Amino acid sequence: MVIAADGFCVGRKRVVFHPRRRGRSSPLSLATAMLQKPMTLLETAKDLFLDTLQHLSIAEAMRTRVRCQNETLQVGELVYDLRKFHRVMVISIGKAAAPMADLLLPLLESALKRDQTIETIVVGSTRPSESDPRVRFFAGSHPSPNQTSFDAADAVLKLLASSDNRCLVLFLISGGASAMIEKPLDNSITVDDAAEFYRALVLSGLPITQMNVLRKHFSQVKGGRLAVHAQGATQCTLLISDVPEDGLHIVGSGPSLPDPSTAEDCREIISANLDVLDFSDNVLAFFGDLELEETPKAGHPAFRNCGWISLLSSDDLCRIAGESAARLGFHVVVDNRCDDWEYREAATYLLNRLQELRQQYPRVCLLSAGEISVHISSKPGSGGRNQQFTLECSRLIAERKLKATVLSGGSDGVDGNSAAAGAVCDETTAVRAAEHGLDIVAGLERFDSFPIFNALGDALITGPSGNNVRDLRILLSSV
């Protein structure tokens, strides 16, 4: 994808930028500010990232895609006559659970009559904005489940068990949902066992697609099984997607969508990765069972009255960042080819790509969305995949004597076990680190990148954003 000053190209289709609606701040303000005060590329990259997070609006997506009017709920092209239902259940799970519920519930209340009830469960990282006795809140755990995750699963399953054909169930699913709600298929697996299973997955460096295949087949509340528990009801799933557009069933391990993966896939993944998957004997025995229960597939009766829609995704992340960069005079290219790659391979590929583009254009902005993998072979220090990637880029920039600025950050405002969302580096990073007595190679080996970037003032500390549409990498070059 290439973005020029007036739009971007996807294949032969051209999309032209239009002025934003009234009432919403515009990325033009970023361009104006930068033109008034010359900025380094390091500062420009930081501002592009922060501006993108500001404009990545769940509220805007809900306003334009979800509407209630004349007792009718419209979600994209899906239309529901609310007069047919005596109950509406809202199950909101993930890092964006609270803001999604906050925006949807007032719309529903305005369209429902007094004898129609709304029952809501929110499992997220932040509380809903207002206290409401009809809303049960569970503080979601991430990246590993805890007792609250099990309690939330029990509450959701109990509520769904009471649904019938006069019930509308709205699932609001966003990134981070996998750990926030959990109930293993094998009741002998404890909370501690489940947490250790999740930790082993995170440390393995497996692609998120493979991690979620295993999570789906491990759980009573993933891989479409929530849809089965609400089989008699009409169901609609609204997603804030932290996966590629063609893989919506991966978001939150697909609790309410058909699952194309199989139990045999699980066994193949484990067999091929035994050296990095530190599973307990109990978990290995569970997956090794040839009678392991299969997840529901497309065509299962549970999906007969189901619809789903993606409200926001990493495409929006790149679009917003690309619009701002194009207004600053950068030639913008979006390249997501390294999604799910190992972080060192991704760093090499993207820096090579930036250098190729630099031969053709005086000002280049290379954008890449998605998640890279980091296999942690020892007890990690403080950091995350975005900071590990950026630190590796700083090493390569110094080694190859390049002039380049690289930023990598999580749209959720959280990177690994650190206080940062990510980090930014350029050709001065290695020199400044040495002046501070900081060893980049040692930081990479110890998976301890945050202390380095924090000391240099190049850690991106935003706090949780209440959103999650994957990671964004910004690479800049200018003559």
CB 423 within 8 A of CB 449: yes
- Please give the pLDDT value at position 51: 94
Above 90 in pLDDT, residue 453? yes
Long-range contacts of 183-186 (CB under 8 A, 24+ apart): 183/150, 183/153, 183/154, 183/157, 183/219, 183/220, 183/221, 184/218, 184/219, 184/220, 184/286, 185/217, 185/218, 185/219, 185/220, 185/286, 185/293, 186/286
Per-residue pLDDT reduced to its tens digit, 66-104 = 999 889 999 999 999 999 999 999 999 999 999 999 999
- CA–CA separation, 192 and 432 (whole Å): 43
The CA-atom distances, in angstroms, between 323 and each of 26, 210, 269 are 10, 33, 39
Helix (H, G, I), strand (E, B) or coil at 392: helix
Cα–Cα nearest to 1, from 356, 368, 330, 313: 368
The CA-atom distances, in angstroms, between 328 and each of 31, 321, 338, 403, 408 are 6, 11, 26, 19, 20
- Please give the pLDDT value at position 1: 56
- List residues bridging with 93 in a β-sheet: 123, 173
CB count in 10 Å sphere of residue 25: 12
Above 70 in pLDDT, residue 136? yes
Structure tokens at 50: 């922060």
- pLDDT band with cut points at 50, 70 and 90 for residue 35: low
Q: Which of 3-17, 44-58, 448-462 has the lowest mean pLDDT?
A: 3-17
- CA–CA separation, 242 and 340 (whole Å): 12
Structure tokens at 305: 């009255």
63: CB partners within 8 A, 6+ apart: none
Torsional sign, CA 461, 467, 472, 476 = negative
CB 183 within 8 A of CB 151: no
- pLDDT band with cut points at 50, 70 and 90 for residue 29: low
Structure tokens at 88: 């509406």
Mean confidence (pLDDT) of the chain: 91
Helix (H, G, I), strand (E, B) or coil at 112: coil
CB 185 within 8 A of CB 220: yes
Provide the total of helices (H) and of strands (E) in the chain, helices listed first: 17, 18
- List residues bridging with 92 in a β-sheet: 122, 172
CB 369 within 8 A of CB 472: yes
CA angle in degrees (0–180, nearest 5) for 468-75-223: 55
Q: Which of 141-155, 244-258, 336-350 has the lowest mean pLDDT?
A: 244-258
- CA–CA separation, 34 and 26 (whole Å): 14
CB 235 within 8 A of CB 301: no
91 Cα distance to chain centroid: 18
CB count in 10 Å sphere of residue 67: 15
- pLDDT band with cut points at 50, 70 and 90 for residue 245: low
CB 266 within 8 A of CB 214: yes
Per-residue pLDDT reduced to its tens digit, 296-332 = 999 999 999 999 999 998 999 999 999 999 999 999 9
- Please give the pLDDT value at position 30: 59
Structure tokens at 21: 């609606």
Above 60 in pLDDT, residue 14? no
- pLDDT band with cut points at 50, 70 and 90 for residue 22: very low
- CA–CA separation, 17 and 26 (whole Å): 12
Above 50 in pLDDT, residue 24? no
- List residues bridging with 477 in a β-sheet: 364
Please state, for a pLDDT cut of 70, what percent of the chain lies above it: 92
- CA–CA separation, 213 and 259 (whole Å): 9
Per-residue pLDDT reduced to its tens digit, 198-211 = 999 998 989 888 99
- CA–CA separation, 372 and 422 (whole Å): 13
More confident residue, 337 or 11: 337
Q: What is the pTM of this model?
A: 0.79
Residue-by-residue DSSP string for 55-100: H--HHHHHHHHEEEETTEEEETTEEEEGGG-SEEEEEEEETTHHHH
